[in-house]
Chain A
């Protein structure tokens, strides 16, 4: 149990939420936004971090909705992964999202929480980056919009007290997206490597989660990619220095798994010796 008291706020509008956080911070209160709560509740119990106040964003109704217009599928940051997985327009993301955590947890785990939480995996961000999605967030100026690629570097970089509002996923997809998730052993576990690779006419996207201490990605212009004689070596070379060793796998194994998988994606050669 969380053995101490904290203040709980549940604003109903984006403005209310932002003002609430701003005021708490000005009063030097240690406050957090949260959405699904799967990370906040478990970590507050374990004592991995502390909070004096939590702001529950689930009171902001539109953040739990999925809207489809001509160009985008607009997903509110509070939408649980299982709802996304079951949505007819988001089937291309299904095979990536349904490997995160387990089914029961995904009933509560939200897309916003997965991207903005403290855990270093943030696997849901990979296909969103590959598809060149847009994000909307709330800050002092109200609702802002930008390309995800412009505000994501290891984690989502937003102004102080801002929070993620919606994600806009392009409906027209240019390239072919491939993904593979590998764990230390059993499937219900954090990834030691989750690789998403997307090849379109203009660019090649390779994004990795679980490989480094944060998600990493590279964009390669298509014509440059086509010139490579050793795609496996070249791609691995872009990421090798980021590989980490931890309880689940060594850096050598991660690099090996990456090369092995890129070889399978590209048909390129990889001799593990």
Chain B
């Protein structure tokens, strides 16, 4: 076992020096001979019929090779529900939707030609909220929903604007509400917004004359891209090669299929030449998908002691113009719909609703951040109604092993200790959560807490793989299908190999790029389970390699395999260490002094597939879709100036049960990063619209995210209740810390002003306005 730099130590990431020196080549940097460049034209209208697209002038402009419009491709693409044409066809359904693409010899020429395309629209009234989309006489945004193909777990409702409805029916909620001592009701709202990853999306597609299709993309899911290209375009899977280089941030936004389909069609139009399609920042914000919005109604029923008896909720998720991942986001929120509390009786309808707004894909938290905002606000309202401390209420109701989830699966021994998480958060904030501290100048100091949990909502056959090969010096190369999106998983996996095989971590070389023709299959780098699943596959590959090393050594040393140990870059007999070989002598086959060579190279392979997962019953939601649950608690301390509404988050704390910390610095970085993202999400992000549905903050000068100087003091504590089927007991932690932030911040601000703050983003003006309402 390598204690020097194996698990539990913090290391510089393997790719960091190249990243900070500008030596990494991202997709958008690539320029090759023969490459052509594409530019997009987007719609200024949120909802309009396309009457005419005049490309005459553009066609004749310098360097133009091809122009692509909706008429060039008659079918739809889609991840779970095939509802989206690659560019708008006959109708635009959201502001920023791509209506045409130009391919030219330079990007400047393509952009100039795109400017010269004239589009005639017939503007229609846009639908700008889920409730509006669900009203009786609402316009049906997808009239052909009945003909869209979709995967089985999704239940669209043709003739309405509901792309998916997930029902949770557990116990007898009607009875629970009838006999409750207290019931409360809360309504919350979140607008759609964007991931704002540092790197805008890019896809480069080429169709070789041999029929091989090469796609290079800023994707978190190269194998999903491969699978869908086969499904939509009928290309043999073995002839699709998808490459994912290092990615400049994904946060879920790059986890589906976006530009790849259009890039392929553009390449097809120019005889298969490589076409590079890169989003401008504006196109990345509103043209490509962002994160989902929500309107939610939550009712909780409790007894006199504060034990929750039942919950009743409606989640109206705002999917925007297309469904993409959003149909699964709303489903994931249903699976977790109560937050990390034991609730025996539940009625929940979680809907994915179409509107004429920029559409949604996966985002950090995947439905849980939105659901959590609704539940945590309701929990504080309940605490208020019961005159109970908000932390005490949560401790009283936190889930424990053997409790059933909303989908009636049973939480096993690998369940984190959320009660302890709540206690730690309380301690980090100095207790007294419900108190408001008066300072001078009409300023107050307040605290807010929330609970969080998440299970990945993945297909039941989610998998990962790992291949280990070796070099002449005994070092090894690890090849997995995990994409490096800035989360540091590649380094974490190297630490696992280092720990398992006793090889120093700088001698574990990790292949950075993913290439679907040589990397083992991996569902997607998403759902915070890269380290867990690829980690398990990696451990299996290590075991396989170790077995082969022992096989060769056994022959050479004339010692049974069971008497051998692999560690410290050697294979040897533990009680007589002189009897042994250096790994370098063995890993590429062994050569005897007389020249005879035996065995050949060591190649370790490992795989992992999720076990025993099932889908949900369409009527009750019962099932076991949840691979593992990560639980935690968060809290904030905020100072609010009630004169101006301006506030500063002084402290943000998180206690999360991760099973095992593989790399402390990496783990803390993920948690703090998630908290920062959650803070920006709650306080300043979200698209703003005018009444014509146009996004009015679609540039970074107006769409504000957290900056240095905005951050609070962070405190992070990890608990380690082992995940029994995780590598070294580890479970997912990459995204969870974003989940509890909106609830914690909103609860603190609500306390400060004396009224519920239930709308995101929580700007100082909103704080001031709400406190004025209270005063009057």
A7 touches B (CB below 8 Å): no
* B702 in contact (CB, < 8 A): yes
Min Cβ gap A265→B in Å is 14
Q: A184-B765, A186-B710 are in contact. Are A247 and B697 (CB under 8 A)?
A: yes
Q: What residues of chain A lie closer than 8 Å to B775, measured between beta carbons?
A: 273
> Given A3-B108, A256-B768, A272-B772, do A186 and B707 touch, yes or no (CB 8 Å)?
yes
Q: Choose among B112, B697, B764, B772 the residue that contacts A185 (Cβ–Cβ < 8 A).
A: B764
Say if the beta carbon of A145 comes within 8 Å of chain B.
no
Instruction: Say whether B157 faces chain A, with CB atoms less than 8 Å apart.
Output: no
Is B487 part of the contact surface with A, judged by Cβ < 8 Å?
no
Cβ contact within 8 Å between A1 and B764: no
Decide yes or no: A185 and B763 within 8 Å by CB, A260-B644, A272-B772 being known contacts: yes
For A182, what are the chain B residues with a Cβ–Cβ distance below 8 Å?
A: 644, 646
- Residues of chain A with a CB closer than 8 A to B706's CB: 186
Q: Are B763's CB and A184's CB within 8 A?
A: yes
**Which residues from chain A contact B764 at a C-beta distance below 8 Å?**
184-185
In the bound complex, CA of A186 to CA of B711 (Å): 11
Q: List B contacts of A4 (CB < 8 A).
A: 108, 112
B696 and A186 form a contact (CB under 8 A): no
Interface SS of B by simple majority: loop
On whether the beta carbons of A253 and B765 are closer than 8 Å, the reply is yes
Does A44 belong to the interface (CB within 8 Å)? no
Scan residues 99-119 of chain B and give those whose CB is less than 8 A from a CB of chain A: 107-108, 111-112, 115
CB-CB under 8 A from B772, the residues of chain A are: 272-273
Q: B688 is contacted by which of A47, A247, A253, A272 (Cβ under 8 Å)? A: A247
CA of A185 to CA of B764, assembled, Å: 6
List residues of chain B with CB within 8 A of the CB of A189. Answer: 704
Q: List the B side residues contacting A188 at CB < 8 Å.
A: 707, 709
Task: Assess whether A108 is interfacial by the CB under 8 Å rule.
Answer: no
Interface string of A245-273 (1 = CB under 8 A from B): 00101100100110010000000000011
**CB of B703, distance to nearest CB on chain A (Å):** 10
| Residues in A neighbouring B697, C-beta threshold 8 A | 247
Q: Say how far B636's CB is from chain A's closest CB, in angstroms.
A: 16
CB of A87 closer than 8 Å to a CB of B: no
A260 vs B776: C-alpha distance when bound (angstroms): 18
| Cβ A247 vs Cβ B696 within 8 A | yes
Using a CB-CB cutoff of 8 Å, which residues 762-776 of chain B contact chain A? 763-765, 768-769, 772, 775-776
Closest-CB distance, A99 to chain B (whole angstroms): 12
Q: Mark A40-78, 1 if CB is under 8 A from B, else 0.
A: 000000110000000000000000000000000000000
* Beta-carbon contact of B765 and A249 below 8 Å: yes
Are B684 and A253 neighbours in the complex by a CB distance under 8 Å? no
CA distance A1 to B281 in the complex (A): 11
| B643 in complex: contacting residue of A186, A187, A247, A272, CB < 8 Å | A272
C-alpha spacing A174/B643, complex, angstroms: 32
* Beta-carbon contact of B768 and A253 below 8 Å: yes
Q: Is the CB of B115 within 8 A of A185?
A: no
Indicate whether B385 reaches chain A with its CB closer than 8 angstroms: no
- Residue interface mask B699-739, A partner, CB < 8 A = 1: 10110101101100000000000000000000000000000
Contact flags B641-665 to A (C-beta < 8 A → 1, else 0):
0011110000000000000000000
Closest to B107 in A: A1
Q: Is the interface of A mostly helix, strand, loop or mixed?
A: loop
Residues of A within 8 A of B450 (CB): none
Partner of A46, one of B645, B699, B763: B699
In whole angstroms, how far apart are the Cα atoms of A66 and B756 in the complex?
Answer: 54
Collect the chain B residues with CB atoms within 8 Å of residue A184's CB.
Answer: 684, 704, 763-765
Residue of A nearest to B697 (CB): A247
A1 touches B776 (CB 8 A): no
With the chains together, A188 CA to B708 CA distance in Å? 10
B768 and A186 contacting across the interface, CB-CB below 8 Å: no
Segment 128-187 of A: residues with Cβ below 8 Å from B = 182, 184-187
Q: Which residues of A contact B643 (CB under 8 A)?
A: 260, 272
Q: Shortest Cβ distance from B259 into chain A, in angstroms?
A: 19
For B684, give the chain A residue with the smallest CB separation.
A185
Interface size on A, residues (CB 8 A): 22
CA distance in complex: A42, B769 (Å): 35
B356 at the interface (CB under 8 A from A): no
Q: Write out the residue numbers on chain B whose beta carbons fall within 8 Å of the beta carbon of A247.
A: 688, 696-697, 702
Chain A min CB distance to B115 (Å): 7
Chain B neighbourhood of A257, CB < 8 A: 644
A256 to B645, CA, bound (A): 11
When distances are taken between beta carbons in the complex, the residues of chain B under 8 Å from A250 are 765
Question: Which one, A1, A3, A186, contacts B684 given CB within 8 A?
Answer: A186
Give chain A nearest CB distance to B648 CB in angstroms. 11
Is B405 on the interface with A (CB-CB < 8 A)? no
Please judge, given known A-B contacts A46-B699, A185-B704, A253-B765, whether A1 and B644 are in contact too, CB under 8 Å.
Answer: no
Name the distance in Å between B344's Cβ and chain A's nearest Cβ. 41
Among residues of B, the one whose C-beta sits closest to the C-beta of A270 is B643
A96 to chain B, nearest CB (A): 18
How many angstroms from the CA of A34 to the CA of B688 in the assembled complex? 32
B272-305 with Cβ < 8 A to chain A = none
Q: Would you call B683 an interface residue if the criterion is a C-beta within 8 Å of the partner chain's C-beta atoms?
A: yes
Q: Considering the chains assembled together, what is the distance between the CA atoms of A257 and B688 in angstroms?
A: 22
Q: How far is the CB of B680 from chain A (nearest CB, A)?
A: 9
Which of A46, A186, A260, A272 is B704 in contact with, Cβ under 8 Å?
A: A186
Q: Are A185 and B683 in contact (CB under 8 A)?
A: yes
Chain A residues near B769 (CB, 8 Å)? 253
Measured CA separation A188–B645 after assembly (Å)? 18
What is the bound-complex CA distance between A189 and B688, given in angstroms?
Answer: 16
B762 nearest CB neighbor, chain A only? A185
Q: Nearest-CB distance from B110 to chain A (Å)?
A: 8
User: What's the Cα separation between A188 and B707 when bound, in Å?
Assistant: 8
Q: Which residues of chain B have C-beta atoms less than 8 A from A253's C-beta?
A: 645, 765, 768-769
List chain B residues, Cβ under 8 A from A47. Answer: 115
Which chain B residues numbered 669 to 700 have a C-beta less than 8 Å away from chain A? 683-684, 688, 696-697, 699
Chain B's closest residue to A184 (CB) is B763
Q: With the chains together, A4 CA to B116 CA distance in Å?
A: 12
Q: What is the 8 Å Cβ interface bit string for chain B, positions 738-776, against chain A (1 contact, 0 not)?
A: 000000000000000000000001011100110010011
Closest to B642 in A: A272
| Minimal beta-carbon separation of B286 from chain A (angstroms) | 14
List residues of A (186-212) whose CB comes within 8 Å of B's CBs: 186-190
Q: From B766, which residue of chain A is reached at the shortest CB distance? A: A253
Give the most central of A4, A250, A256: most B CB within 10 Å.
A256
Complex Cα distance, B112 from A257, in Å, reads 45
Measured between beta carbons, the chain A residues less than 8 angstroms from B765 are 184, 249-250, 253
| CB-based contact A187/B107 at 8 Å | no
Instruction: Give B646's nearest chain A residue, CB to CB.
Output: A182
Which chain A residues lie closer than 8 Å to B112 at the CB level? 3-4
Give Cα A116–Cα B233 distance, bound, in whole angstroms.
Answer: 55
Closest chain-A Cβ to B262's Cβ sits at a distance in Å of 20
B696 adjacent to A1 (CB under 8 Å): no
CA distance A155 to B696 in the complex (A): 25
Cβ–Cβ < 8 Å partners of B645 in chain A: 253
> Could you mark each residue 208-231 of chain A with 1 if its beta carbon is under 8 Å from any beta carbon of chain B, else 0?
000000000000000000000000
Q: Which residue of chain A has its CB nearest to the CB of B683?
A: A185
Report the Cα distance A272→B702, complex, angstroms. 29
Bound-state Cα–Cα, A91 to B253, Å? 46
CA distance A190 to B761 in the complex (A): 18
Known A1-B111, A187-B710; 17 more pairs at CB < 8 Å: A3-B111, A3-B112, A3-B115, A4-B112, A46-B699, A184-B763, A185-B684, A185-B704, A185-B761, A185-B763, A185-B764, A186-B684, A186-B706, A186-B707, A190-B701, A247-B696, A273-B776
A–B complex contacts, Cβ < 8 Å, 12 sampled: A3-B108, A3-B111, A47-B115, A184-B764, A184-B765, A185-B683, A185-B704, A185-B763, A189-B704, A247-B688, A256-B768, A273-B772
Binding site for A on B (CB under 8 A): 107-108, 111-112, 115, 643-646, 683-684, 688, 696-697, 699, 701-702, 704, 706-707, 709-710, 761, 763-765, 768-769, 772, 775-776
> 7 smallest A-B Cβ distances: which pairs?
A3-B111, A3-B112, A185-B684, A253-B765, A3-B108, A186-B704, A260-B643
